[in-house]
Amino acid sequence: DGGITQSPKYLFRKEGQNVTLSCEQNLNHDAMYWYRQDPGQGLRLIYSSQIVNDFQKGDIAEGYSASREKKESFPLTVTSAQKNPTAFYLCASSLITGEETQYFGPGTRLLVL
């Protein structure tokens, strides 16, 4: 089955700890994205990547880092500098020519201990 997988489903972070969220896609999509969802707010873009080894900061990149070493993978690290990390994190992917709809994964809920 083609799709986007995110792991883990739930993640717990201790004070001062960096944690990494995984996102993998087998849709052969060029572009990948990370969004953050908070109650009462629209999804907000953290990072995007149109091509391997290149990525761009989104609206709320502070306290996060990303990498794109493979076309199918776009991990996101939530660093200790992110003071309010509790949220639902969503990964998406799309083509960059033709039909450019973004398709989303199932999400990772990050909680702070």
Partner 1 sequence: EDQVTQSPEALRLQEGESSSLNCSYTVSGLRGLFWYRQDPGKGPEFLFTLYSAGEEKEKERLKATLTKKESFLHITAPKPEDSATYLCAVQDHGGNEKLTFGTGTRLTIIP
Q: Which is nearer to partner 1, 53 or 101 (CB)?
A: 101
Q: Which of residues 40-79 bind partner 1 (CB under 8 A)?
A: 40-45, 48, 50, 56, 58-59
**How far does Cα 111 stand from its chain's mean position?**
16
Q: Does 97 bind partner 1 (CB under 8 A)?
A: no
Of 22, 23, 19, 21, the C-alpha closest to 102 is 23
Q: CB of residue 107 vs partner 1: minimum separation in angstroms?
A: 5
Q: Rounded to whole angstroms, how far apart are CA atoms 87 and 51?
A: 27
Q: Rounded to whole angstroms, how far apart are CA atoms 43 and 112?
A: 20
Q: CB of residue 67 vs partner 1: minimum separation in angstroms?
A: 18
Exactly one of 22, 75, 103, 112 binds partner 1 (CB under 8 A); which one?
A: 103
The site for partner 1 (CB under 8 A) is made up of 4, 6, 31, 33, 35, 40-45, 48, 50, 56, 58-59, 90, 94, 96, 99-107, 109
